[in-house]
């Protein structure tokens, strides 16, 4: 973000503070997402605990959906309390009490420290099971089309005009001396031609349930931040997001904590370290999903993970190492899916 845009954002934040009658608070921009129109400010004062202000600097409805989702959700207590929200010209904003997350650790932090365990996942599954009991039938075909196929198609097409064009045109890709069917060919043969799922039901799942958005305290109480705000989503969507972190290690890769060498257009060396607890947690994940919802749900959760990885590539075109690392992982995931569930 350039300096002019930062000054404009800071001006908006300070005007919001003024009309919210908070007193002497300061706003510091701590996160401006390259792939969403939302920016995050940390608010602080001398005598009060910190708050977080989230501003959407456009007419997009994403933040409005988040606010409505949190305020109208039947299980509000799993989301941080909204302190205030509103509009300033074309800017949507809301503020949460960060102090409500004191004593909570993110799943991502625990996972990287090898401290995430089966009991943590069990607490989360219990919550998802409760939400799934409020499911709605006969909306899954529309949900699947809107949240999977259309998004995937649009974002992958945008990559054809990037520096990845030559790589995308190859039929095969070699990663660590292993031959894989390349992404576009794998999607055509694995997903579009053989695996169109029809989810039996959908519900009000958070919608972006990766490890950075899940927090837990010593009592096993869970908090979730940044819900997608969609009215209905299939369970497999959020299970795919969990796999996104646990199986695909997206949070590790997005922090560039990996080695990557490119020897030719389609020949790569790609390596990273993952937590020692990964395999046990993944086995527990699979057993829980099958026991609660069946083998088809597990199958389509892994498919959902492939969709998530594939559609996120377009958001990282400005970082060549990151997008190539994520691309290699996406190719591995879709080929592994084919071997595990189709071949």
Span 158-196, pLDDT tens digits: 888 788 889 999 999 999 999 999 998 888 776 666 555
pLDDT of 341 reads 85
174: enclosing H helix or E strand: strand 172-175
Question: pLDDT tens digits, residue range 78-101?
Answer: 887 787 778 877 777 778 776 667
- Supply φ then ψ for residue 269, to 5 degrees: -110, 125
Give the residue numbers spanning the domain of 30. Answer: 3-101
Q: Are strands 259-264 and 267-271 parallel, antiparallel or unpaired?
A: antiparallel
Regarding whether 138 and 81 lie in a shared domain, the answer is no
Per the listing, tokens 């990557």 go with 260
Question: 99 and 130 in contact (C-beta within 8 Å)?
Answer: no
What is d(CA 91, CA 176) in angstroms, rounded to the nearest whole number? 47
What is d(CA 246, CA 253) in angstroms, rounded to the nearest whole number? 12
Q: Which residue has the higher pLDDT, 39 or 147?
A: 39
Regarding whether 122 and 10 lie in a shared domain, the answer is no
Query: At which of 69, 101, 133 does a domain end?
Result: 101
pLDDT-derived band at 316 (thresholds 50, 70, 90) equals confident
Regarding whether 246 and 133 lie in a shared domain, the answer is yes
What is d(CA 115, CA 242) in angstroms, rounded to the nearest whole number? 16
Q: How many percent of the chain have pLDDT more than 90?
A: 39
Full-model pTM: 0.86
Burial of 105 (0-12, 13-18, 19+ CB in 10 A): middle
What is the 3-state composition of the chain as percent helix, strand, coil, each rounded to the nearest 5?
A: 50, 20, 30
- Work out how many domains the chain is built from and give that number: 2
Question: pLDDT tens digits, residue range 220-248?
Answer: 999 998 888 777 788 888 999 999 999 99
Regarding whether 324 and 279 lie in a shared domain, the answer is yes
pLDDT of 278 reads 96
């Amino acid at each position: 973000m350039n300096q002019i845009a930062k000054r404009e954002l800071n001006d908006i934040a300070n005007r919001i503070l003024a009309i919210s009658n908070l007193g002497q608070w300061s706003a510091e921009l701590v996160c401006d997402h390259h792939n969403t129109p939302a920016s995050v400010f940390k608010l602080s004062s001398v005598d009060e605990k910190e708050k977080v202000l989230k501003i959407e600097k456009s007419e997009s409805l994403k933040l409005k959906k988040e606010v409505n989702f949190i305020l109208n959700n039947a299980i509000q207590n799993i989301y941080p309390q909204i302190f205030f929200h509103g509009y300033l010209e074309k800017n949507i904003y809301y503020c949460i009490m960060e102090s409500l997350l004191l004593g909570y650790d993110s799943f991502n932090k625990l996972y990287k420290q090898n401290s995430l365990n089966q009991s943590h996942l069990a607490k989360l599954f219990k919550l998802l099971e409760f939400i799934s009991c409020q499911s709605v039938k006969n909306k899954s075909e529309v949900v699947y089309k809107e949240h999977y196929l259309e998004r995937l198609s649009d974002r992958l097409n945008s990559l054809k005009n990037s520096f990845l064009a030559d790589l995308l045109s190859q039929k095969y890709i070699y990663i660590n001396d292993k031959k894989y069917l390349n992404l576009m060919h794998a999607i055509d043969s694995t997903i579009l031609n053989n695996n169109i799922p029809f989810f039996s039901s959908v519900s009000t799942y958070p919608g972006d349930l990766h490890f950075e958005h899940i927090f837990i305290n010593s009592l096993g109480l869970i908090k979730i931040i940044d819900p997608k705000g969609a009215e209905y989503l299939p369970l497999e969507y959020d299970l795919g997001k969990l796999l996104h972190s646990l199986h695909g290690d997206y949070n590790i890769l997005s922090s560039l904590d990996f080695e990557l060498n490119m020897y030719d257009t389609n020949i790569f060396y790609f390596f990273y370290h993952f937590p020692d607890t990964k395999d046990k947690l993944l086995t527990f994940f699979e057993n829980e999903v099958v026991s609660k919802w069946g083998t088809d749900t597990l199958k389509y959760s892994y498919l959902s993970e492939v969709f998530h990885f594939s559609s996120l590539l377009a958001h990282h075109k400005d970082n060549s190492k990151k997008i190539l690392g994520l691309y290699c992982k996406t190719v591995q995931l879709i080929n592994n899916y084919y071997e595990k569930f189709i071949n």
